[in-house]
Amino acid sequence: MPDFIITTTPWGLVSRDPAERVELKGPDAVPVVQSGGHPLLFADAPQIPWFEDQPDALERRAKLRGRVEYQGFFDIPLPLRADTVQRLRKPVWRESARIGWSDLLSRPYGKDPDADADEPNVRQFQFLMRLVGRMQDFDAALSEDVRFLPWEAVFHRWLEPEANQDPTMDVVVRHAMHHRARWVEIVERPRRLLNRTRELVGLNRVEELDTQCMAWLSRQPGRTMPERAGPRQRILALARYENLDTLENRVFRDLMERTDAAARDYLRLNAGRRRDAGVRGRTSRYRIVEQYARECRSFARELEAMGVSKLDGAVQPNFVLIQDERYRHVWSAWTEIVRRERVYDDLWRWQRRAWGEFAKAACGVALHAAHGGEIEIASPLFFRMEHRRGQWLEHDDPLVVIGFRSNGFVVEVLDGCSKDLALALPELGASAWLRLSDLSGGMDKYVAVWTTLGMGPQPPLRSLVDSADKATRFFKQVHKQARLLGGLVLQGETDPTAPAQLEAGQHVTGLSFGPADGHLSAALTTLSEEILALVEQNL
């Protein structure tokens, strides 16, 4: 038995194709894993494995019951750089096994969202930003007085064209609204330090001497000051210079440059949401950030021309950044914009979990939108201001229960880690589950919802559906008591111009789509139709 198994597809553990599994035996293992699939780590050990020398760096996807306590699947956070080699070990090992990734995309930094839009890693990041915007629709809906929590409001937001919706909220928007006047004042009157240096100064410009200057003067030949000044009439004296290259001004320049980059990302994300829909006399967030980005870019250039250098290394705030009335706002804004970047760095590592949560929510929205579907029970939702390892929603299980009374069944949307599954089902590594209950009686049945998101060249949807279909047929033969009907493969499409795809197998249906306008409305309709067809065919 290998120490670890990395499955290149979520269902790879039950797949009969050994190419969908990478086995690690001992700390000397150095496997290279394809990044285009959706790898999961399977661990068969009495203790949680250590990843990157940390005991809590992995996130559990599913726990296999009836076996050792910590046996199960874990989502793997991917590195920010493609050439990074990650470390994995059992707690009893003294050395770590290493994992490399082939064809992995690196997190883009310093790229122009418009000029570099066709680069794969920029497109991947923009896809991620669109996911953030769609999940923020839950936050906006929760602030409204809506029936059945946010589901109906989110349904309308996801079907409505982005051109009719408000630009999303962001740290950059808040900064643009609250700090623009402050930044203008600082650029016009930046804080200066008066530095003194000893140099040869003309007699008519001498203002101050210290003891070293007096000692130098005493050593010069002559009896009077003009004689000691020599033919050029200069003596060593203290000269005063204004210095703008202070820590607080370097932090301010760095804030302007980071804000410009963040604002361009925001404008790219909200290019289709250029106005606040239905609000008269109100300036669009898009236009505010657009103007703010131009100002920050101009301020950064002015500070560079003044001699303010780039910020280098770690920053320990000084008295001015903490206590000065103007610069304390610079420090608070700088820490917020840096934290925003770190949040997106972390989201890049966990973007597969972000896609999984979005797809699970899309199943709930699609079922709510389906003909004859009514919400019976909806879990209370809490929207985190910052994601936790790719997920924003905190809720109970099931997420939502949709009743189709005219058709005689109920569908529950369960989490992949749900404790309400049949015993063998977690072996399939699904991100979410649909539990189907016949109102006329009978045992519950299940549909697996697998989510895949490539961090490199993606495998064709057809090949994924065929693989999942074979695994499903094999699983149904071996575990008839699990009552598995079939599955859905929801593949993330990062290119908003690519058409959504639908591929059908005997037991599994695949759908490729993304959060962009061109995909989402049609994908929700197709998803609801495929779920209902699968249910009605098997109940």
The last residue of a domain, from among 243, 278, 307: 243
Q: Output the CA torsion sign for 450, 451, 456, 457.
A: positive
Question: Does residue 332 lie within any of the structural domains?
Answer: yes
Number of domains observed in the structure of the chain: 4
Least confident of 146-155, 185-194, 486-495: 146-155
pLDDT at 393 (0 to 100): 93
What is the β-pairing status of strands 508-513 and 484-492?
A: parallel
117: CB partners within 8 A, 6+ apart: 123, 126, 268
Is residue 89 domain-shared with residue 155, that is, in the same domain?
Answer: no
Question: Does residue 440 lie within any of the structural domains?
Answer: yes
- For tokens 């990734």, the residue is 101
Question: Does residue 496 lie within any of the structural domains?
Answer: yes
Is residue 345 domain-shared with residue 284, that is, in the same domain?
Answer: yes
Question: Does residue 514 lie within any of the structural domains?
Answer: yes
pLDDT tier at 69, thresholds 50, 70, 90: low
Is residue 314 domain-shared with residue 371, that is, in the same domain?
Answer: no
Per cent of the chain over pLDDT 90 is: 35
Is residue 178 domain-shared with residue 256, that is, in the same domain?
Answer: yes
For range 521-535, the mean pLDDT: 87
Each residue of 118-138: b (16+ CB within 10 Å) or e?
Answer: eebbbbbbbbbbbbbbbbbbb
Question: Does residue 115 lie within any of the structural domains?
Answer: no
Q: Is the model's pLDDT at 67 over the cut of 60? A: no
For range 34-50, the mean pLDDT: 82
pLDDT tier at 145, thresholds 50, 70, 90: low
Q: What is the mean pLDDT of the chain?
A: 86
Is residue 23 domain-shared with residue 69, that is, in the same domain?
Answer: yes
Q: Are 149 and 140 in contact (CB under 8 A)?
A: no
Question: Does residue 127 lie within any of the structural domains?
Answer: no
For range 474-495, the mean pLDDT: 91
Is residue 269 domain-shared with residue 413, that is, in the same domain?
Answer: no
Is residue 300 domain-shared with residue 438, that is, in the same domain?
Answer: no
Q: Which domain holds residue 229?
A: 193-243
For range 475-485, the mean pLDDT: 90
Render pLDDT for 401-443 as a digit per residue (tens, 0 to 9).
999 988 888 999 999 988 888 888 999 999 999 999 888 877 8
pLDDT tier at 474, thresholds 50, 70, 90: very high
Is residue 392 domain-shared with residue 516, that is, in the same domain?
Answer: yes
Is residue 222 domain-shared with residue 275, that is, in the same domain?
Answer: no
Q: Is the model's pLDDT at 531 over the cut of 70? A: yes
Question: Does residue 138 lie within any of the structural domains?
Answer: no
Task: Please classify residue 265 by burial: count the beta carbons closer than 10 Å to its beta carbon, then call 0-12 exposed, 13-18 middle and 19+ buried.
Answer: buried
Is residue 448 domain-shared with residue 323, that is, in the same domain?
Answer: no
The last residue of a domain, from among 225, 243, 261: 243
Q: Give the CATH number, domain containing residue 82.
A: 2.60.40
The last residue of a domain, from among 208, 223, 243: 243
pLDDT at 281 (0 to 100): 40
pLDDT tier at 280, thresholds 50, 70, 90: very low
Is residue 378 domain-shared with residue 480, that is, in the same domain?
Answer: yes
Higher pLDDT, 273 or 512: 512
Render pLDDT for 89-120 as a digit per residue (tens, 0 to 9).
988 888 899 999 988 999 888 766 666 777 88
Question: Does residue 267 lie within any of the structural domains?
Answer: yes
pLDDT at 148 (0 to 100): 54
Is residue 336 domain-shared with residue 368, that is, in the same domain?
Answer: no
